Structure 1
Amino acid sequence: MWQTLLTRLLDQHYGLTLNDTPFADERVIEQHIEAGISLCDAVAE
């Protein structure tokens, strides 16, 4: 779910692809979820 939302968000607002970010690695996403970091906060980092 995060990857789908991130893909759209990054493309629309930043002109980036998921592969341009650390979030292309599912482990990075899992770490954020486990740490309780929201999608919005993760993008703002």
Structure 2
Amino acid sequence: MPTILCQLEAVLRFLSNDPGDPNMQACRDGLRQAIAALKRHIQAGSSR
């Protein structure tokens, strides 16, 4: 897995330590979407 993906997932784990903050919830959701999009992009690139 590319380093940037590992770093993003580490950030997501870090942000998940404070589940009560609604602003953090939106941040985590956005980060999850970014990670998913990046994974799709990588898979599309490697399947060529």
**TM-score (normalised: structure 2):** 0.29
Higher relative contact order (CA 8 A, sep 6+): 2
